[in-house]
Structure 1
């Protein structure tokens, strides 16, 4: 049976974080709050755990999950190349609602699904989740809902959909009635001089925000 913790209760917080670390470390899943919607998390470097995440959501390997990271320095380890524009994006909008798709470091021994050699990265602006990431390292995290269902605004909503496919649920209060999703950009065509990026989904970071941060870059839809 899944463990559920109310992280707004300080007496439960230490036990909650310990349980989440334990679950992730053993290849199980945990539902965690983020600054957008609640997410279901797995160790990004444990292929069985990532597959367990996809199975829980009812997704195929053709829909690989994004990866949440604890700090900008982790970008250097996970990306094949960190160009000046890519670093500017990370330093300007992280932590925050921008998911950046870039070429993955080919030396990494992970299997997120059919990624085509890319990885989608983000640093969430959520203190509890950032603390967890500092301890676990990169986590594969997708919205905590069954595919086709609305994103969960609470851990309880996530549990109603995902049930015992998740080992630990961290409740941290409700998100907004209509939480804003992260903006997703394809940054694989960025170059040191500029290049281009493509907006795949506009959310918390607008096209105007991106253009202001990177005036030398062509922004495509």
Structure 2
């Protein structure tokens, strides 16, 4: 039976207490939530997503104090970032408390922690006395969902409830930071620009590369976010770029319509933000990648955005959506 879309956080909280799966809204993307301290519930996440057991999960709670209780050590820099950016699109990887099951962290010694900046998610989390594990609510490796309907379309038969909180405001997954030797390192570019983190900490941050196996944190696999089309990346797509008829282009900041069609070349163009706004481009990215899959274009050409702010995270998602292995 297909999942019910609900708006009642009491019903969602009761389902989580009963070990059920609840898709929850956040400011980044919708997450597939379960009680992080209940291993049988966590196993349902991996099964529903067809997610490999070596890919760890992020756990969520409603306040910094509540979520940091699941870390055994907290560096000075981690405290600074929690104060500056929680609630918000930041995940921090810290040494785990013994109460966190190994299944959640894929056997690693550290756990990924987050406080989402979404009123419905915070209301739900405040009603349960455990952290909620919630990776993106989509089949593993595919485009992340930014509306309740996206979740229903992709995982409707595998989820008990979908808590509707409207479209996601940010539209990209959280930025992930770890603290080897006490200093912050970026493990995943995301909805919090790296420059803002560097401003708080007062130094430049190293950025880790992706992995094809055994990632250190969620969302680090080299191939991910696939729309299922053949997608190629270009530094810039010119108007006369030779691409096959019937294909699609993803561009940025061209000043026209968000979606346009060239009758002569039979090419559809999707502009992530006609006015060149990176926040709008981030919000639109997964929606447009989902349209790529829906229309089954044989070829998709995507141009890179400026490598600054949210543009760095958007480019990261485009490159991994285009990866073949």
TM-score bucket (shorter structure): 0.7 to 0.9
Aligned-CA RMSD value: 1.8
Q: Determine the structure 2 residue equivalent to 1:40.
A: 32
Q: Determine the structure 2 residue equivalent to 1:22.
A: 14
Report how far residue 146 of structure 1 moved.
0.4
Matched, 1:128 2:120: yes
Matched, 1:53 2:40: no
Structure with more contact order per residue of length (Cα contacts < 8 Å, sep ≥ 6): 1
Alignment of 1:145-184 (within 5 A): 145-175=138-168, 179-184=171-176
TM-score w.r.t. the length of structure 2 is: 0.60
Alignment of 1:1-221 (within 5 A): 1-7=1-7, 16-105=8-97, 107-110=98-101, 111-136=103-128, 137-175=130-168, 179-190=171-182, 196-215=183-202, 219-221=205-207
Q: Which runs of 4+ in 1 moved over 6 A?
A: none
User: Gaps spanning 5+ residues in structure 2: where?
Assistant: 208-325
Is the 1:4–1:171 contact (alpha carbons within 8 Å) kept by the matching residues of 2? no
CA distance in 1 between counterparts of 2:168 and 2:66 reads 27
Query: Which SS does the other structure have where 1:112 is aligned?
Result: helix
Is the 1:68–1:141 contact (alpha carbons within 8 Å) kept by the matching residues of 2? yes
Is the 1:102–1:187 contact (alpha carbons within 8 Å) kept by the matching residues of 2? yes
TM-score w.r.t. the length of structure 1 is: 0.86
**1:114-160 CA distance string (max 9 Å, x none):** 14111001100001111111111310001010012211121121112
Is the 1:103–1:188 contact (alpha carbons within 8 Å) kept by the matching residues of 2? no
Query: Which SS does the other structure have where 1:166 is aligned?
Result: coil
**1:74-110 CA distance string (max 9 Å, x none):** 24421111222111111101100111111112x3152
Query: Which SS does the other structure have where 1:185 is aligned?
Result: strand
Report how far residue 71 of structure 1 moved.
0.7
User: Gaps spanning 5+ residues in structure 1: where?
Assistant: 8-15, 191-195
Query: How many pairs were matched up?
Result: 205
Is the 1:75–1:82 contact (alpha carbons within 8 Å) kept by the matching residues of 2? no
CA distance in 2 between counterparts of 1:173 and 1:135 reads 20
CA separation of 1:172 and 1:74: change in aligned 2, threshold 3 A: closer
Is the 2:10–2:124 contact (alpha carbons within 8 Å) kept by the matching residues of 1? no
Is the 1:33–1:39 contact (alpha carbons within 8 Å) kept by the matching residues of 2? yes
CA distance in 1 between counterparts of 2:132 and 2:104 reads 11
Higher Rg:
2
CA distance in 1 between counterparts of 2:201 and 2:114 reads 18
Query: Which SS does the other structure have where 2:51 is aligned?
Result: coil
Report how far residue 218 of structure 1 moved.
5.7
CA distance in 2 between counterparts of 1:169 and 1:6 reads 6
Is the 2:3–2:152 contact (alpha carbons within 8 Å) kept by the matching residues of 1? no
